[in-house]
Chains A and B, each alone.
Chain A
Amino acid sequence: MSRIEKAVFELNSIEDLSRQNRWVNRLHPSVKLLLTLLLAVLAVSFDKYNLPGLLGLFVYPLFVFIAGGLRFKDALRRLWIVLPLVVVTGITNPFFDRQVQFYIGNFAVTGGMVSMATLIVKGILCVLGAYILIATTPIEGICRSLRAFRVPKTIVTVILLIYRYVTVLLQEADRVTNAYLLRAPSEKGIGIRAWGPLAGGLLLRSMDRAQVLYESMQLRGFDGEFPEGLHALFYEGRDNRRLSIIYFAVWAVILVLLRIVPVAGIVGSVFGI
């Protein structure tokens, strides 16, 4: 399987996950979207040296991973491309903030190191939050919720169309790459001289296919907005509203408490640390 085929396979696998019939999948999309936003806001709001407090927020993604039957190994593999970017965000902090905060044995831990670690953890929390959202909620459900929260329909439609067209683009890229490699068996990748024509060809072919897709949508009455009832039609019955409200209330309280109460300090004092 080529790398592009793997990417398409991964996208399809996430779609499959989002359509599982577990109780987490059956929760109302708006609830999961709100909790993801709350998680991100709370994570960002932590002080740059408050790493122990921040770690408490991992309880929410961990819970959804277990309840949603998501595998850590798969998540790590899928997020592998993003994680280095997250790590890079605070890489310069240790050079600017050299004030020693505490010692681990003889090793002096500076403020820059702690703030870098905090930034990385914040990034990981946000990425994990987004991952558990899309892995437990179909894209149509997420977009329906965005519309319910008054996000402009143009933005929501663009999100949906990008989601649909990314597969088209990847499939075309796979065809073009295979066609090239079959005629250049000794090369390990695509030669730099072929990049221009291949990228141009790929763009044109993708546009052609996207055009046909769009025509197909137009012929079936598409006027710029996906029908709002589409997700509701097949998933409304399974959205458990009462459970969704309880789930939101409980998790919102837990997450806010984790932000307000210094849980790490309390746990530390209990164990005499």
Chain B
Amino acid sequence: MADKNESCLLVRNVSFAYEKKYPVLHEISFEAAPGETVGIAGANGAGKSTLLKLLVGLETGFEGSIEICGIRLDKKNLAAVRRHIGYVFQDSDSQLFMTTVEEDVAFAPLNYGYSADETKKRVENALRSVNAEHLAKKPVYRLSGGEKRLVSIATILSLTPEVVLMDEPSSGLDPKNRRNLIGIIRDLPGTKLIASHDMDLLWDTCSRILLIRDGRIVCDGPADDIMRNEELLRENDLELPLSLQGRR
């Protein structure tokens, strides 16, 4: 578990409800150290995506506190917080809105005031880090699902965020693209939070797992312990990773 002083992501007693009657998250507390890869596992409707949206300030009006890289998340600090955190949406189609790949990747650095030369460098580096340099000039609508996912990741890497959040990054990918994505996630610098019910993806990429059920953290520990605990997973409507099922 991360030392509080080293944490670049600090979540304390966070509760949230879209409507007061129906709370989605209850008293969520955790922290993540720089470079740590944390998986957020849970069945559909457990609150994984909502938690990620809170962390980037897309949902507001929560109780408790969130700190990203030492900056407390509130309306005043939203731009500063977002400078340090990147969010990969579940649906890449909704994340990419410019005409060509390079324009989409350049959008964030230009908005944050980087010079043209610096922006070009950042675009090249971001695309290189997801092995997508060859896609730079390609129109977004011509990309395959796997390519769109890679470019989505590149769009957030162009700001070199300290914290990267990913919502179901493997959804809709074929095995080859999924394997490619796992390699890229492993190589990404910074703290990573990956929300998914793809247990194999979490097993392959995360050192630590937060297990969420009905908006509560039911377990927080090393991936090796949680992923092998079939009973715990079954109680939370999840299954052992396929790669571990054959070893029983």
Contact = CB atoms under 8 A, between A and B. Distances in A.
A182 interface: no
B194 interface: no
Interface in B146-178: 155-156, 159
A12 B141 contact: yes
B82 A221 contact: yes
A205 to B, nearest CB: 12
Interface in A206-223: 209, 212-213, 215-223
A222 B98 CA distance: 13
B218 interface: no
B139 A12 contact: yes
Contact of A233 (B83, B120, B156): B120
Interface stretch (B19-27, B36-44, B89-97, B237-245): B89-97
Contacts of A209: 94
B87 interface: yes
B106 A234 contact: yes
B69 interface: no
Contacts of B100: 19, 234
B116 A219 contact: no
A239 interface: no
A16 interface: yes
Nearest to A16: B139
Interface in B67-92: 79, 82-83, 86-87, 89, 91
Contacts of A140: 99, 103
Interface residues of A, number: 29
Nearest to A163: B99
Contacts of A139: 99
A229 B116 contact: yes
B99 A212 contact: no
Given A19-B99, A212-B94, A233-B116, A222 B111 contact: yes
A227 B116 CA distance: 11
Given A212-B89, A212-B91, A234-B102, A220 B119 contact: no
A209 B155 CA distance: 19
A48 to B, nearest CB: 41
Nearest to A217: B97
B112 interface: yes
B99 A223 contact: no
Contacts of B155: 220
A230 B106 contact: yes
B56 interface: yes
A19 B111 CA distance: 23
Given A12-B141, A138-B99, A234-B103, A227 B94 contact: no
B108 to A, nearest CB: 4
Interface in B111-163: 111-112, 116, 119-120, 139, 141, 155-156, 159
A219 B106 contact: no
Contacts of B97: 164, 213, 216-217
Contacts of B102: 234
A219 B58 contact: yes
Contacts of B14: none
Contacts of B107: 217, 220-222, 227, 230
Contacts of B79: 221
Interface of B: 56, 58, 79, 82-83, 86-87, 89, 91, 94-100, 102-103, 106-108, 110-112, 116, 119-120, 139, 141, 155-156, 159
Given A212-B89, A221-B107, 20 more contacts: A15-B139, A16-B139, A138-B99, A139-B99, A164-B97, A218-B58, A219-B86, A220-B108, A221-B83, A221-B112, A229-B110, A229-B116, A230-B98, A230-B106, A230-B107, A230-B110, A232-B116, A233-B110, A233-B119, A234-B100
